[in-house]
Chains A and B, each alone.
Chain A
């Protein structure tokens, strides 16, 4: 099969040919400047990706900001620099998403939550979103276990002939009292081993003005209030060191990651309460490594290992509320091997076995100190015949939890809980004509998410009887791609997918007793989601060396609550659209490039929603849409040195909006960045 590389170098489509090793050096030198590539895909269903210049051009500060441009995605954004941002894909809930950092899942056994607002794009090369799973078989068992996955790939150092070092020093500042310096140094030890060091600091007061107002039905102003969002300050430091190597037909990588932060938690704005006092401290450390070797034409091996330790302290010192000062320590050990055997030229089989160990320690009263052993075994096979690609996988998950109930320090009992589940998935795609890159695809997948340690064991709130929350997905779709060497349209890619998801045994928090400060997790929900995702990406060659790229995404979803069949009627929740899922949302991003100048505009639209599944006016949430504009210019200096200046204005029309009820978002805000590199 011909491998097509389409590379937009300095935003000119220069190549549409077989990738050849001998050309890599010159091409990768260009990649330092700005190269946009469309990779050939090994997956049955390719991902939505953002990478290279496109990623850089979007005025996105964190991974969560970048993911907003993908179809089918909802970001739960609590606002501000340090505010929590979680991703919900196709309305299945954020706990069904797996986030993989350089191939290994970022876990959080405590609450299942990966705050994508914390992952800056500073060191990220590519963000990819897969619905269902990454439909490639040579991967770890974990990769088969989620209902959707986000893959973050950190930057690989690439050196031109004779170069051994790269340095990039960046300083960004802007609204919210932001200071955001970062340094990246890359060094080539030998043709086979290179190092990347990256560190970034974030300091922000997090303050911004927000405005609430309401009108009489005749349009006269009823009330209007403007206030400053407080307790949204953040100070964070991230440091990463990565070592990359190749050795005699094998590739390896090692990574150390450390993140430390303190932040205020800006709570809900309610009558008479304009600021909150809650604070959170985090320390995340992990060390991970991967090794991949093609042992023979028929056998490939991949091994991965990780150790992670996370610390979280949550403090509520507000004297008008209950004092909470909880500390949590999590440990994780992860080992994985994957073995791919090529049975015939078009037929591969992969066996992957993962083992994971998690432990949670806490200062909570009567804490049960849970330990979880997970053993995941995935057997997958892929078959290709002409335009037909198919993949089937079966994942077995064995989970054993141990915990000890205590009362005032005395052990009451030791407990064990076991769980065994099989979850299958089938992915197929068909490309009827070799001359046209039009393909049709479909998948079916079941998965489940384990209740987190908090769901199960949080003192007085966890529920040890919880069952896993199950997800079933069916998807059919099509994709068309076009690349040309000259002419008005340089490239185009269109995708359309229709899907049906069903979430059963959904884990929902409900209050207990007659006070509201105690909640409990229960398996009571069922949600059915019917949706359509459309995407289009078009690159045009305009006169005067101007390149224009347009990226569009649109999602239409009916995500309906089927939990309580007795609750029908106009205010009933049965068949009601679930909380915060709009019927319509979409984005349009435009990137214009003229020589060393990049201009980017993006528009994000989220339609009307309700904040719970009783879709009545009292629960209505307004649509919101923001326009972001950014421009950057790259000044070439002596040799390979350069300075790049970037200016951004976000939420250009200063829309006052909320993503989550009572969490006001920032209005118009600015950012300025200067980077020096060679």
Chain B
């Protein structure tokens, strides 16, 4: 009798457990392509700059390189628009967006770990082509060509494993690589000035034997014709109106710190070294906007963040803190910077912990926050649309 009642109880409990599990088991549904999110962040404004694209890098292996667009004419922030613009593109944009640029009517997104450049219509972001370049890094344009740096040149074993980087020359009409030019190890940014391409060689894979030079390529012959020593682990290079190249080094994250250098391309010599750490920079007229949050292995932490403006005429820091309202305290890891050429609004992106979605902050020219909005993961590279 006792057994009878207890076994009924257990049987019902067992059934109850099955039912509970079935109830909790919400089922799979078909994956739907990413639907962009549209957020009103500001009032519309009408200038010759109609908006900007923001390329989010996404972590390595996450396939979460995404594209956001801000439309000045509506004040709407459109998050993750690529899948909507290209719904049939399998696996979307790919892994680790590293640079973005607009040339003519086309938008180019360099997707580093997907080994390709997505070429899109600059208005709709609809993909019109793709250029496959392994470990591609940064892009610049001149004439009918796009120039892209790549870490992945041919492998030499002599007897050590060596793999120099190169610059690829891409015909923007056919989207074919028409020539390549070998440079140093792990070349990053490049700049085209008066018939020459200047390439920042980093040697970032060669730790502790970093590169310390700019490669100079003659645009006409597309041959490397010189190496200019600047500092170790170069990353960024931008040219101002007077032919001065502003070159930023990463340092070695130990004793050698990140610095900013001015190299006069006409006099062919270094004219200034500034003790300003550079994570990213943006040149607008005679103002070089610099952000940084420098890592140091010595104390295993990030140093204080920098948000400064260097006047390229005086070659001095003109404004040591371009954020005026204290917003810098809520920015965890400043990662990207851009300045609207008309309104001079300053955009700063925050990569936060690199895993969670980032933020973009828009400041007016006085450094007062106008708006902020959530982005994709590791927001980094901005290009304005006309």
Contact = CB atoms under 8 A, between A and B. Distances in A.
Interface of A: 212-217, 219, 222-225, 267-273, 319-323, 365-366, 407-408, 460, 463-465, 482, 484, 487-489, 492, 494, 508, 510-517, 520, 522, 524, 534, 536, 538, 550, 552, 554, 556, 564, 566-567, 571, 573, 584, 586, 588, 605, 607-608, 611-614, 616-618, 622-625, 655, 657, 661-662
A552 B87 contact: no
A554 B94 contact: no
A662 B207 contact: no
B128 interface: no
B90 A223 contact: yes
Contacts of B14: 492, 536, 538, 550, 552
Contact of A484 (B3, B356, B376): B3
A612 B34 CA distance: 17
Given A492-B10, A624-B28, 7 more contacts: A214-B31, A215-B30, A215-B33, A460-B297, A515-B204, A517-B60, A564-B353
Given A320-B135, A550-B14, A623-B27, A612 B356 contact: yes
27 contacts: A214-B31, A214-B32, A215-B30, A217-B35, A225-B90, A270-B63, A271-B95, A271-B111, A319-B134, A319-B152, A319-B155, A320-B134, A322-B151, A482-B6, A482-B7, A492-B7, A510-B354, A512-B253, A514-B335, A515-B250, A520-B297, A556-B24, A566-B330, A571-B374, A573-B356, A617-B34, A623-B26
A661 B95 CA distance: 13
Contacts of B235: 514
B113 interface: yes
B111 to A, nearest CB: 7
Interface stretch (B15-23, B45-53, B172-180): B15-23
Nearest to B65: A271
Contacts of A567: 352, 356
Contact of A608 (B26, B62, B66): B26
A272 B25 contact: no
B291 to A, nearest CB: 10
B61 A270 contact: yes
Given A270-B63, A513-B253, A614 B356 contact: yes
B300 interface: yes
Contacts of A488: 7, 11
B114 interface: yes
A616 B375 CA distance: 12
A319 B163 contact: yes
Contacts of A268: 61-63, 95
Contact of B300 (A273, A321, A465): A465
B357 interface: yes
Nearest to B10: A492
Contact of B24 (A269, A463, A554, A573): A554
Contact of B30 (A219, A571, A623, A661): A219
A272 B354 contact: no
Q: Which 9 A-B pairs have the closest CB atoms?
A: A271-B94, A268-B61, A320-B134, A270-B95, A270-B63, A489-B7, A271-B91, A512-B295, A272-B114
Contacts of B184: none
Interface in B193-237: 204-205, 207-208, 235
Interface of B: 3-4, 6-7, 10-11, 13-14, 17-18, 20-21, 24-35, 57, 59-64, 66, 80, 83, 87-96, 111, 113-116, 132, 134-135, 151-152, 155, 161, 163, 204-205, 207-208, 235, 250, 253, 279-280, 295, 297, 300, 330, 335, 352-357, 374, 376, 378
A323 B160 CA distance: 11
A487 B89 CA distance: 61
Contacts of A657: 28
Contacts of B33: 214-217, 222
Contacts of B3: 484, 487
Nearest to B356: A614
B21 A271 contact: no
B319 to A, nearest CB: 22
A662 B61 contact: yes
A586 B21 contact: yes
Given A273-B113, A482-B10, A550-B14, A223 B61 contact: no
A616 B357 contact: yes
Nearest to A488: B7
A492 B378 CA distance: 52
Instruction: Kindly name the residue among B60, B134, B208 whose own CB sees the greatest number of chain A CB atoms within 10 A.
Output: B60
Nearest to A619: B357
A564 B330 CA distance: 12
Contacts of B253: 460, 512-513
Contacts of B66: 618
Contact of A212 (B88, B90, B94): B90
A516 B30 contact: no
Contacts of A270: 61-63, 91, 94-95, 113-114
Contacts of B134: 319-320
A618 B80 contact: yes
Contact of B34 (A366, A536, A618): A618
A598 to B, nearest CB: 21
